[in-house]
Amino acid sequence: MLSLSYSQSAYFSAGLTARYGSGFQSSIEIGDTTRNSYVFREHTLDITAGYGNFSIWSNFEFSSPPRIGPDHLGLRKLRLTWESDRLSVNAGDLYGQFGRGLALNLWENQGIDWDSSLKGIWLTARPTDKLSVDIVSGNTAGGRHLPIGPGVDTRIRDFSEDVTVSALLFTANDLLPNLSVGFYGVDVDADNPWFWKMQSLFGGVETVDSVNVRTRSFSPGFFVEYFGRDYDLYVEVMKRSLEIFDTDSLYSTPSFEWIYYERENKGWGGYASVSYYPGKLGLTLEYKNYFFDDSHPDIRTKLPYRLGRLAPIMNGPTAFKEHSAVLMRRTPHIMDFEDEVGIQAEVNLNVSDDLFLIFNYAQSSRHTGFRDVNYIDGYDGWEKVETESLLWFSDNEMFYPFKEFYGEFNYHYSPLNLDIRLMAARSSEIVESYVEIINELSYWENHTQEQLDWKKRDLYTLPTELTLSLPSGHGLTLYWEHQWEDYNDRNYLVYRDLSSSEIDSVTTDEILTVPYYYRYVALNLSKPSRYSAGFIYDFASGIKTGSPQNTDPANDSWLEEILRNSGVDMTNKWFGVQGSLYLTPATIFNVFYGSLQGGLKCDSGVCVYVPGIEDAFTVTITSNF
Amino acid sequence: MIRLIVLSGLILNFLIAQIDQIPAIKLKLADGSETALEEIYHTGPVLIDFWALWCAPCLKAMRHLDDLQEKYRDQGLTILGINLDTERSQSKVRSYIRSKGYGFTVALDPSQKSYRRLNGTAMPFTLLVNSTGKIVYRHSGYVPGDEKIFDTEIQSILSSLEQSQ
């Protein structure tokens, strides 16, 4: 029997992060070469104090502006906690999850301006050792960022949803030996801004169609968890019933059309994992199947229009590898939490004390694809197509298939005290809107013209890291990464005889666009708990906005000037130097000078574009005491 | 005003005096069982290491932590790795640890409650706690060679323990 006793001693801890940066931000719009000033001041202080069963946590933020997200000056988060063996009560800003988070996952990452924490109360009662009951009630107004696009300022939060949550969870621990079962229900009442941003004829961006739409959903679900000696199993299933109030249709000014919504939207999601780890082998298989919303492309590609989307508190496992390698992190698979089915398999193999291997494979697709049909009788609209099985992914381009192979080799060469880490990844994905247009032809009786367009991205990445522990006590780390990114534009034009369904003629136009190549190199020398100094080099063969970077010597920083005068071609190259000083083992002072490329930053499947900063001076202090 | 300043001074003094005490933390171990941190440090010093699979420096540090566990196990040291992987990689944690054959204790904290309670600012975050629950050493991040500093700190706490006995 578990007995948790709480000491009556007091404790206090604090964590400080202070960031300052000043530089420039290049425009990410096609053909625009302007640079704007980019300054951020972002300071947070977390304080926790407790005595006996009570504790208080507070978070102060002084940001004006932060690197990404809204300004804040003063107390931002506060939570009071009272805990005993049988009861715990949290009031204030709440974090946590039910099961693996399909229905309730409260988390925050300020680096991508994501916050699904609730302001409210979370009560956990444990009437017996085997039973626990969680009651959660609160409100969140975390923000959302629109995908990168014309007129979108990626540093600014585009909109917030006002979401009120009531949730209940019963968990039976060790119902049978090593078997736990949980049942939950989550009620979400949300107020959703419905709008679109478009470029104004007079410059800048204007927001149109601005109304608020209320939605309410109820999501019951269950999870089962089992631990064996060499294996474990996890299964979670949830269902969501969503009701859209106040509207049956809304008029879209930019699309010049009425957008119709079903008043009721039913969806479901499931996640399962199996891990098996006999001896030096570890195998994990994961399966995800999320099918909550099957909106057509006019709605799906515009987040505020997608009223059938999941509430921000619902964030299940992604079931694909989220990479920590620099270039791979910038080109992630962006999953559709509302409509995606897939698997992930990972194998860990400890060949010897010095050699460790990792293999990972992931594949997924959407459940639904769409055809834009134009029949001779006048019907013009989207026709939905579903995969052959809703339980499995498809290879058909219509369903946005994604697949990735990843391998990692870790070797410790003892004579030199050298750690070698070699990685290789290959992924392919349909990244841009797939359109299948079917026109019934008036000039050719009983024939249709079918047009298919899609853009596929192939990525090959080779990251390598060498870490050498020098006899002097210093550590030397060299990291370099190569990445090749190819885009294939495919266009098919097919004439089909409707009487026989045979294809009469096919025109295929395959265009391989200019491939991109990226390189990233970082060198770092460190003395443990004293200091570190490093150099960063980042290169892109081309920029997707079409405007080469760092071509104008007038915009050079002193570092770039030195390099340019040494004969280095600075086009599309970013350089930086950084130094860190350990003021105490838990207080680090870091200075960076140079330029950093921007890119997508993801956490748990949530991706936000964080802009790069050029010719910048940044200072970061992190401390724990 | 003077009363307020005196009161603030007293409160601050009290807090600073208690600054090194680790809070009560409930732990869910990787084998599915539950315990309290207090029950671990009452048996001897504990080196707590907050880590995650996505944190490359954390993984680099772990082989050295395992060596330290082997070296000082008989002297009562416990190495406790608290994993902070969220739902995105939680399923892979046991598989990773078991295949690596690490012999230290691993706890799972997907909600990161313990990390928040200690206000960690950089990963890996390492704390050395003595058998009365006092935090005697804190360290943020990992670079090659940090394990030697951990070793020195462990030796220091074990020798002071021997002297007190």
Tens of pLDDT along A319-366? Answer: 999 898 999 998 899 999 999 999 999 999 999 989 999 999 999 999
Average pLDDT of A56-70? Answer: 93
Backbone angles phi, psi at B38, to 5 degrees: -55, -40
Q: Do B54 and A529 touch (CB under 8 A)?
A: no
Q: Which of B60, B116, B146 sits opposite A467 (nearest CB)?
A: B60
CA distance B90 to chain A (A): 9
* Angle value at C-alpha A205, between A202 and A208, nearest 5 degrees: 105
Domain residue limits, chain A: 84-317
Give the closest residue to A235 by CA, choosing from A190, A282, A179.
A179
Q: Which of B34, B38, B94 sits opposite A232 (nearest CB)?
A: B94
Q: Which of A49, A97, A588 sits opposite B140 (nearest CB)?
A: A588
When scoring B89, B90, B132, B136 by the number of chain A Cβ atoms within 10 A, the one with the most, hence best to mutate, is B89
Looking at beta carbons, which residues of chain B come within 8 Å of A286?
91
What sign for the dihedral angle of Cα B118, B122, B126, B127? negative
Amino acid A530: pLDDT = 92
Q: Which of A100, A283, A587 sits opposite B95 (nearest CB)?
A: A283
Q: For A553-604, how does the pLDDT look when each residue is reduced to its tens digit (9 = 90+)?
A: 888 888 888 989 998 888 899 999 999 999 999 999 999 999 988 888 888 8
pTM for the full model? 0.91
Half-sphere exposure for A67 (CA within 13 Å, toward CB): 25
Amino acid A527: pLDDT = 93
Q: For A428-442, how does the pLDDT look when each residue is reduced to its tens digit (9 = 90+)?
A: 999 876 666 777 776
CA distance B26 to chain A (A): 8
Which residue on chain B is closest to A346 by alpha carbon? Answer: B92
Half-sphere exposure for A49 (CA within 13 Å, toward CB): 10
Which residue on chain A is closest to B98 by alpha carbon? Answer: A277
Q: Which of B110, B113, B119 sits opposite A46 (nearest CB)?
A: B119
Whether B34 contacts B27, CB under 8 Å: yes
Looking at beta carbons, which residues of chain B come within 8 Å of A529?
139, 146, 149
CA distance B53 to chain A (A): 10
DSSP code string of A506-534: EEEEEEEPPPEEEEEEEEEEEETTTEEEE
What sign for the dihedral angle of Cα B30, B35, B36, B40? negative
CA-to-CA distance for A292 and B42, rounded, in angstroms? Answer: 49
CA distance A231 to chain B (A): 8
pLDDT at A12 over 90: no
Which residue on chain B is closest to A360 by alpha carbon? Answer: B92
Give the closest residue to A362 by CA, choosing from A269, A288, A454.
A288
Average pLDDT of A253-269? Answer: 88
Q: Hey, which of A371-375, A487-491, B139-143 has the most confident mean pLDDT?
A: B139-143
Backbone angles phi, psi at A409, to 5 degrees: -120, 120
Amino acid A248: pLDDT = 75
For residue B37, the SS3 value is helix
Task: Name the DSSP letter for residue A309.
Answer: S
Q: How big is chain A by its Cα radius of gyration, in Å?
A: 27
Which residue on chain B is closest to A286 by alpha carbon? Answer: B91
Q: For A138-188, how does the pLDDT look when each residue is reduced to its tens digit (9 = 90+)?
A: 999 888 888 777 667 788 888 899 999 999 999 999 888 889 999 999 999
Q: For A197-251, how does the pLDDT look when each residue is reduced to its tens digit (9 = 90+)?
A: 877 776 677 788 889 999 999 999 999 999 898 999 999 999 999 999 987 788 8
Amino acid B136: pLDDT = 92
User: Chain-wide mean pLDDT for chain B?
Assistant: 86
Amino acid A196: pLDDT = 84
Q: For A83-127, how does the pLDDT look when each residue is reduced to its tens digit (9 = 90+)?
A: 998 999 999 999 999 999 999 999 999 999 999 999 999 999 999
What sign for the dihedral angle of Cα B158, B163, B164, B165? positive
Q: Which of B92, B101, B149 sits opposite A529 (nearest CB)?
A: B149
pLDDT at B19 over 70: no
Query: Domains (ranges, CATH) in chain B?
Result: 44-164 (3.40.30.10)
Q: For A535-554, how does the pLDDT look when each residue is reduced to its tens digit (9 = 90+)?
A: 999 999 988 777 788 888 88
Q: Which of B89, B111, B117 sits opposite A96 (nearest CB)?
A: B111
Average pLDDT of A501-526? Answer: 82
CA-to-CA distance for A56 and A48, rounded, in angstroms? Answer: 6
Q: Do A474 and B145 touch (CB under 8 A)?
A: yes
Task: Name the DSSP letter for residue A64.
Answer: S
Amino acid A3: pLDDT = 36
In this prediction the ipTM stands at 0.88
Average pLDDT of A284-304? Answer: 92
Confidence of residue B10 (pLDDT cuts 50, 70, 90): low
B121: left (phi over 0), alpha (psi -120 to 50) or beta: alpha
Confidence of residue B13 (pLDDT cuts 50, 70, 90): low
When scoring B25, B62, B98 by the number of chain A Cβ atoms within 10 A, the one with the most, hence best to mutate, is B98
Q: Do A348 and B100 touch (CB under 8 A)?
A: yes
Who wins on pLDDT, A101 or B21?
A101
Looking at beta carbons, which residues of chain B come within 8 Å of A223?
none
Amino acid A7: pLDDT = 46
Who wins on pLDDT, A419 or A142?
A419
Backbone angles phi, psi at A220, to 5 degrees: -85, 155
Amino acid A495: pLDDT = 81
When scoring A7, A13, A60, A588 by the number of chain B Cβ atoms within 10 A, the one with the most, hence best to mutate, is A13
CA distance A593 to chain B (A): 21
CA distance A6 to chain B (A): 6
Amino acid A506: pLDDT = 73
Q: For A195-211, how does the pLDDT look when each residue is reduced to its tens digit (9 = 90+)?
A: 888 777 766 777 888 89
Average pLDDT of A294-312? Answer: 91
Q: For A366-401, how does the pLDDT look when each residue is reduced to its tens digit (9 = 90+)?
A: 999 988 887 767 677 888 888 889 999 999 888 999
Which residue on chain A is closest to B55 by alpha carbon? Answer: A324
User: Chain-wide mean pLDDT for chain A?
Assistant: 89
